[in-house]
Amino acid sequence: MVLVGSAGLLLNALLLCSFGWQEKALKERVIVAFTGHRPNKIGGYSDNPIQQKIRRAIKDTLIKLQPEKAISGMALGVDQWAAEICVELKIPFIAAVPFLGQEKIWPAASQQKFRELLKKADTVQIVCDGEYAAWKLQKRNEWMVDHCGTLIAIWDGTRGGTGNCVEYAKSIGRDIYRINPNDT
């Protein structure tokens, strides 16, 4: 199901796969996708220095890569920060929502922010039918990786959804650009 909506400080960035990614990205105007941690793993839910450095690193990366389009999984944290930066830089983005009602259990302010970002998305892709099931988050990640050329991973190397997304991207040969939030 597709719904159509309206409308440098780059520290210790590390290329995990593929030599020559920058030149390739600039020639091909790739589609990038984002994966990254939720706020509780990167400084908390309120604005903080770690979050500011991550946002700056995302912005610098997007400016450097100049993607044709971006894909955000729309979760709290890195996903939404990346979508906001895409809006700021006028990079069209696809909101890859794992299932309808993803935001249902979030605080009211987070739900409102989510809805506002969906309105700014170039396209909203609902990846799975039905309501919440944990496996749908991984399916959303796989959909994003399947539809991008480069994965930008804000990842500290720990196990979890972000790590699973990076492993999947490696397994199918995607370029991966890693920003370690512990090094920002």
Per-residue tokens: 65: 């890569």
Q: What is the pTM of this model?
A: 0.82
Residue 8 structural domain: 2-183
Instruction: Check residue 29 and give its pLDDT.
Output: 61
Asked if residue 15 has pLDDT above 50, the reply is no
Give pLDDT tens digits for 156-174. Answer: 888 999 999 999 999 999 9
If one counts every other C-beta atom within 10 angstroms of the C-beta of residue 182, the result is 11
Q: How far apart are CA 136 and CA 124, in angstroms?
A: 16
Given pLDDT bands bounded at 50, 70 and 90, which one contains residue 9?
Answer: very low
CATH of the domain at 100: 3.40.50.450
Q: How far apart are CA 166 and CA 115, in angstroms?
A: 27
Domain total in the chain: 1
Give pLDDT tens digits for 58-81. Answer: 999 999 999 999 999 999 999 999
Q: How far apart are CA 110 and CA 77, in angstroms?
A: 10
Mind spelling out the 3-state secondary structure of the chain?
Answer: CEECCCCCCCCCEEECCCCCHHHHHHHHCCEEEEEECCHHHCCCCCCCHHHHHHHHHHHHHHHHHCCCEEEECCCCCHHHHHHHHHHHHCCCEEEEECCCCCCCCCCHHHHHHHHHHHHHCCEEEECCCCCCCCHHHHHHHHHHHHCCCEEEEECCCCCCHHHHHHHHHHHCCCEEEEECHHHC
Asked if residue 11 has pLDDT above 80, the reply is no
Given pLDDT bands bounded at 50, 70 and 90, which one contains residue 12?
Answer: very low
Give pLDDT tens digits for 83-106. Answer: 999 999 999 999 999 999 999 999
Given pLDDT bands bounded at 50, 70 and 90, which one contains residue 48?
Answer: confident
Asked if residue 8 has pLDDT above 60, the reply is no
Per-residue tokens: 59: 């912005």
**Residue carrying structure tokens 């941690």:** 37
Instruction: Check residue 37 and give its pLDDT.
Output: 85
Asked if residue 124 has pLDDT above 90, the reply is yes
Instruction: Check residue 66 and give its pLDDT.
Output: 95
Asked if residue 49 has pLDDT above 50, the reply is yes
Query: How many residues comprise the chain?
Result: 184
Instruction: Check residue 28 and give its pLDDT.
Output: 54
